[in-house]
Chains A and B, each alone.
Chain A
């Protein structure tokens, strides 16, 4: 990463991006080692809960940094998806697997609904970043059930995550079509997640159509439903 050397040339967003990039390595080592420790710790160990909490918070830090950096790159036209053909069922299973221990611990049951032979074209890493963020959020709000699904729709692929929590607040729903919702630090939400998701979706293009995201309260029993349409 290059940052300008002259102090008057220091641009805050460049410095921030450079800094995040650096911290990313630390968090990677941190999460990697923590994952190792968690898997070596018995579930009845008194420290287990705290380790899981650490893992959860660590992932949140990592997600936020990923999104900040993503938006920075997007604004500087340095983003282009590595589109490849993806086995969708495997991809969803991988997403659920990554969060399995935490979800299991909280007693959240995950259902995956996807045709085995479904394949689609997208950037696995980018979409995985979006999914991780949504699942992490759902973890906070869901009571006991999470449905992850994928299907072909309107000539594209729809990935959806439904929970049985209280649903999105109205103010988020009203802004959902425009992508970014205004920052609301009080509620612990900055709209960063949705903004990032909308940007990533939009970068996926095919034959003149671009991807988009939708949120609604059509989840389980009026819970939240996040969906991502990819051309």
Chain B
């Protein structure tokens, strides 16, 4: 037992109590550790992780008033500060901590509860380091984003060393989902669940079924998971997304409320709860949720203008626009350097001033928003564009509204919900025919660009094809067809003329946009696989 030691490992201890840090340090030193750093809260921990590469992070779940351990983990994973090969161990005050289980990619490697006997820490760390070492080929490939290699390595290791098969299957399931191989992921999770109902497999299956748009069965599995493991918070989040797809907004709001009872500190969840309540016209709930989102979001990398905008709109609906004025000031100050957020701010400002009866101020604000849109169309989503167009129509600025709606339609040229909303807006101002014409013309325009780009590629004019699609993808960042074709032309170019880092990065950006919306898309799967091979060959 004594031969094993922590010598040579870089370790970070995160705990808000100085005595606890001392105690843990002594404990680690007694296990041979020499390189130990300590942090007293989440922010300090993150600063240290920016400049140091740690092998082991021991983080207390309760860190006083600031971020809790789970939030620290989510942020460092999100910001890429924690490599897959590093250990993150959550230390909890109770055997039975009322602690949330986040999404699979945001789970710690292990939980250890206080008090921590030396023997426990030693056995656990040794086992965990040993496991990481055995999984190294897979984790290394994942770190390189070479997902096909990672998948192959998973299969090899499962064959070689079945004792790790559950860890490997868990990784494999996530890899399959990243690659868009939903049917295979589904089969994997179903086979596993035949043997044992492990929570991560139930969650994995629920997610997979969501991507496959099998919403009824997805909801069943997620509900079962919540019943048997009420602290798996990610299950509530996915269930609310499933219910939203089934147009059950009331249900989605309820599920989010239940998740928040157990885990109130997530800004994204608070924000979504607010948005769902706003949609259900449950304005008091929406107001409270947006306020909470603002409070828990302080200092978080997930903080955005959405919760401010949501609150301002809620206040306007509650006839409390006066209160919203201060909020707009805060937004202006907080998001000075982000044009997309500035546009949101000006848009909300315009709505608020309109509610207060200040027509001129409202028009000025809308003018600023339009100007930002003209300068940064690539940063404006279709929903924002339609919201702004609504304001423009109201102010009699049909020209600006038309531009904005064309932008929305370009981004969503096949989406019936977008088309419906555009049609209604034109109808309202008595321009039904023009609206219909715009919808059809824009769909034709996108189709034309696509055809031209594909033809160029077929003719071997790959550089021209790339230029065309990249331009289009900047103008319509939400358009899945355009993003897929942009990635495809880059991949085709690299197959013919060799792989370059800058083209790899670009292609990944376009594919990531698709992944976020439609991971089960077959064209996405094909391109992701080709790209993954190219990354591996690098």
* Given A36-B26, A82-B111, A100 contacting B95 (CB threshold 8 A): no
* Given A36-B30, A85-B166, A87-B127, A66 contacting B231 (CB threshold 8 A): no
Least Cβ–Cβ distance between B116 and chain A, in angstroms: 7
Least Cβ–Cβ distance between A205 and chain B, in angstroms: 6
Is there a chain A Cβ closer than 8 Å to B431's Cβ? no
Partner of B95, one of A33, A35, A70: A70
Which secondary structure dominates chain A's binding surface? helix
Chain B residues closer than 8 Å to A82, beta-carbon distance: 101, 111
Chain B residues closer than 8 Å to A85, beta-carbon distance: 166-167
Least Cβ–Cβ distance between A210 and chain B, in angstroms: 10
Further pairs besides A25-B17, A35-B117, A36-B30: 13, Cβ < 8 Å? A28-B116, A29-B19, A31-B115, A32-B24, A70-B95, A80-B229, A82-B101, A84-B110, A85-B166, A90-B127, A94-B119, A97-B123, A129-B95
In the complex, are the beta carbons of B163 and A28 less than 8 A apart?
Answer: no
Is there a chain B Cβ closer than 8 Å to A77's Cβ? yes
Query: Can you list the 8 inter-chain pairs with the closest CB atoms, starting with the nearest?
Result: A97-B119, A28-B114, A78-B98, A32-B23, A80-B231, A129-B95, A31-B115, A70-B96
Partner of A25, one of B98, B114, B124, B127: B114
Residues 256-269 of chain B: 1 if any A CB is under 8 Å from the residue's CB, otherwise 0? Answer: 00000010000000
Q: Pick the interface stretch among A105-113, A119-127, A177-185, A219-227.
A: A119-127
Cα A28 to Cα B228 with chains together (Å):
31
Chain A residues closer than 8 Å to B17, beta-carbon distance: 25, 29
Chain B residues closer than 8 Å to A78, beta-carbon distance: 96, 98, 230-231, 262
Task: Kindly identify, within residues 187 to 207 of chain B, every residue whose CB is under 8 Å from any CB belonging to chain A.
Answer: 196-199
Task: Kindly identify, within residues 1 to 41 of chain B, every residue whose CB is under 8 Å from any CB belonging to chain A.
Answer: 17, 19-20, 23-24, 26-27, 30
Query: Which residue on B lies nearest to A126, using beta carbons?
Result: B95
Least Cβ–Cβ distance between B120 and chain A, in angstroms: 6
In the complex, are the beta carbons of B229 and A24 less than 8 A apart?
Answer: no
Residues 115-137 of chain A: 1 if any B CB is under 8 Å from the residue's CB, otherwise 0? Answer: 00101010001101100000000
Is there a chain B Cβ closer than 8 Å to A74's Cβ? yes
Cα A78 to Cα B120 with chains together (Å):
25
Least Cβ–Cβ distance between B110 and chain A, in angstroms: 8
In the complex, are the beta carbons of B163 and A119 less than 8 A apart?
Answer: yes
Cα A128 to Cα B166 with chains together (Å):
22
In the complex, are the beta carbons of B230 and A32 less than 8 A apart?
Answer: no
Is there a chain A Cβ closer than 8 Å to B157's Cβ? no
Query: Which residue on A lies nearest to B165, using beta carbons?
Result: A85
How many interface residues does A have (CB within 8 Å)?
Answer: 45
Cα A90 to Cα B125 with chains together (Å):
12
In the complex, are the beta carbons of B119 and A29 less than 8 A apart?
Answer: no
Query: Which residue on B lies nearest to A77, using beta carbons?
Result: B230
How many interface residues does B have (CB within 8 Å)?
Answer: 42
Partner of A100, one of B96, B119, B123, B230: B119
In the complex, are the beta carbons of A21 and B94 less than 8 A apart?
Answer: yes
* Given A94-B120, A125-B112, A66 contacting B101 (CB threshold 8 A): no
Chain B residues closer than 8 Å to A21, beta-carbon distance: 93-94
* Given A85-B166, A97-B123, A98-B120, A29 contacting B112 (CB threshold 8 A): no
Is there a chain A Cβ closer than 8 Å to B71's Cβ? no
Partner of A39, one of B24, B30, B115: B30
Which residue of B20, B114, B115, B166 has the most chain A CB atoms within 10 A of its CB atom? Answer: B115
* Given A93-B123, A100-B119, A66 contacting B95 (CB threshold 8 A): yes
Cα A125 to Cα B117 with chains together (Å):
12
Query: Which residue on B lies nearest to A2, using beta carbons?
Result: B264
Residues 209-246 of chain B: 1 if any A CB is under 8 Å from the residue's CB, otherwise 0? Answer: 00000000000000000001111100000000000000
Is there a chain B Cβ closer than 8 Å to A73's Cβ? yes
Least Cβ–Cβ distance between A70 and chain B, in angstroms: 4
Is there a chain B Cβ closer than 8 Å to A27's Cβ? yes
Residues of B bordering A, CB below 8 Å: 17, 19-20, 23-24, 26-27, 30, 92-96, 98, 101, 110-120, 123-124, 127, 163, 166-167, 196-199, 228-232, 262
Residues of A bordering B, CB below 8 Å: 21, 24-25, 27-29, 31-33, 35-36, 39, 62, 66, 69-70, 73-74, 76-85, 87, 90, 93-94, 97-98, 100, 117, 119, 121, 125-126, 128-129, 205-207
Can you list 28 pairs linking A and B with CB atoms under 8 Å apart?
Answer: A24-B94, A25-B114, A28-B23, A29-B19, A29-B20, A31-B115, A32-B116, A35-B117, A35-B118, A36-B30, A69-B96, A70-B94, A73-B96, A78-B98, A78-B230, A78-B262, A80-B199, A80-B230, A81-B229, A82-B111, A84-B110, A90-B123, A94-B120, A121-B196, A125-B92, A125-B113, A126-B95, A129-B95
Least Cβ–Cβ distance between B132 and chain A, in angstroms: 15
Cα A230 to Cα B231 with chains together (Å):
20
Chain B residues closer than 8 Å to A93, beta-carbon distance: 123
Cα A127 to Cα B88 with chains together (Å):
22
Which residue of B17, B20, B96, B117 has the most chain A CB atoms within 10 A of its CB atom? Answer: B96
Chain B residues closer than 8 Å to A24, beta-carbon distance: 93-94, 114
Which residue of A27, A83, A125, A129 has the most chain B CB atoms within 10 A of its CB atom? Answer: A125
Chain A residues closer than 8 Å to B94, beta-carbon distance: 21, 24, 66, 69-70, 73
In the complex, are the beta carbons of B96 and A126 less than 8 A apart?
Answer: yes
Least Cβ–Cβ distance between A57 and chain B, in angstroms: 13
Cα A7 to Cα B30 with chains together (Å):
46
Query: Which residue on A lies nearest to B16, using beta carbons?
Result: A25
Least Cβ–Cβ distance between A59 and chain B, in angstroms: 8
In the complex, are the beta carbons of B198 and A83 less than 8 A apart?
Answer: yes
Partner of A125, one of B27, B95, B230: B95
In the complex, are the beta carbons of A32 and B27 less than 8 A apart?
Answer: yes
In the complex, are the beta carbons of A28 and B111 less than 8 A apart?
Answer: no
In the complex, are the beta carbons of B114 and A74 less than 8 A apart?
Answer: no
Chain B residues closer than 8 Å to A97, beta-carbon distance: 117, 119, 123
Partner of A28, one of B20, B95, B98, B232: B20
Query: Which residue on B lies nearest to A27, using beta carbons?
Result: B115
Least Cβ–Cβ distance between B100 and chain A, in angstroms: 10
Chain B residues closer than 8 Å to A32, beta-carbon distance: 23-24, 26-27, 115-116
* Given A70-B95, A82-B101, A125-B95, A28 contacting B115 (CB threshold 8 A): yes
Chain A residues closer than 8 Å to B117, beta-carbon distance: 31, 35, 97-98
Least Cβ–Cβ distance between B39 and chain A, in angstroms: 17
Chain A residues closer than 8 Å to B124, beta-carbon distance: 94
Query: Which residue on A lies nearest to B167, using beta carbons?
Result: A85
Chain B residues closer than 8 Å to A77, beta-carbon distance: 230
In the complex, are the beta carbons of A79 and B30 less than 8 A apart?
Answer: no
